[in-house]
Structure 1
Amino acid sequence: MEETEQLRAARGVRRRILGDAYVDAATADPAPAAVEFQDYLTATAWGVWAREGALSPRDRSLLVLAMTAALGRMDEFRIHAGTTPRTGVTDAEIDELLFQIAAYCGVPAGSAARRAVQSVRTEREAGR
């Protein structure tokens, strides 16, 4: 993928939100297709985070959490639940979001999201 200012900005946001360790592990595969795939993911998903606009990182984080839960993408939900200290989303807001998820996406999605949040909080408290 062509190195653009937008891609550089998206990479910066991805690192700020997910952390260097996560991004380094995700981008470690040097195979050309893997590099291209990571650039595509970064430009697409993290490019929207890099946009100037009315949504703050906190707002974007809450939206991603709600959407990944609604889609049943608990691996992604868990990743983003772990980033909330860097996005400004509080534990109280996550707790309230879980009620919204259960009400609008169904109890199974809300319960799965709750288990993921509990796991993330346990890891955070253990310093992992």
Structure 2
Amino acid sequence: MPEPHSERYRQGMATRRTVLGDVHVDRASAAATPFDQPFQELITESAWGTVWSRPGWTKRERSMVTIALLAALGHDEEVAMHVRATANTGATREDIAEALLHVAIYAGVPAANRAIRVAKQVFADMDAEQAA
């Protein structure tokens, strides 16, 4: 599977690595198959190379909005991944708590409650990893 070499792809890969970390991106890239390689290219170019790489908002701001949207939609695995990424984006635990309060009001208490449980578990895991 040849790697696309468009500038948007290269920018997307750099941004993706900055936000999610090399370990996560390397794992996702290694797990790609011919079936999902086009999807990996799509998200690298569109989500990371276009949206996350735009000027105007900081990675911290994009991180908070992304977590709120994912929580509102009930995408727990993606919430967990992006909560973990806050170690790289500068969004604090207080930022995430505030974003999830907005989720409670605008998307519903059950969505926020579920996302808060996910975030608490991720933070506990991160704290344990740091302590080790």
Q: Could you say if the C-alpha distance between residues 120 and 29 of structure 1 is closer, same or farther in structure 2, counting changes exceeding 3 Å?
A: closer
State the Cα distance separating 1:111 from its structure 2 match.
0.4
1:75 aligns with 2:77: yes
State the Cα distance separating 1:30 from its structure 2 match.
5.2
Where do 4+ consecutive residues of structure 1 move more than 6 Å? none
Checking the alignment, whether the CA contact within 8 Å between 2:32 and 2:40 is kept in structure 1 is no
Matches for 1:1-128 after TM superposition, within 5 Å: 2-29=4-31, 31-47=33-49, 48-51=51-54, 53-127=55-129
Identity %: 38
Give SS of 1:28's match. Answer: helix
TM-score, L = length of structure 2? 0.89
2-structure distance, mates of 1:91, 1:30: 32
- Could you tell which deviates more after superposition, 67-76 or 30-39? 30-39
Deviation string 1:40-82 (CA, Å, 9 cap, x unpaired) is 111111121112x211111111110111111111111111011
State the Cα distance separating 1:2 from its structure 2 match.
4.2
In the alignment of these two chains, the number of paired residues is 127
2-structure distance, mates of 1:117, 1:38: 25
2-structure distance, mates of 1:44, 1:33: 19
Structure 2: gaps spanning 5 or more residues: none
Structure 1: gaps spanning 5 or more residues: none
Give SS of 1:50's match. Answer: coil
Checking the alignment, whether the CA contact within 8 Å between 2:101 and 2:112 is kept in structure 1 is yes
Checking the alignment, whether the CA contact within 8 Å between 1:29 and 1:35 is kept in structure 2 is no
State the Cα distance separating 1:32 from its structure 2 match.
2.6
2-structure distance, mates of 1:30, 1:68: 23
Give SS of 2:36's match. Answer: helix
1-structure distance, mates of 2:32, 2:120: 34
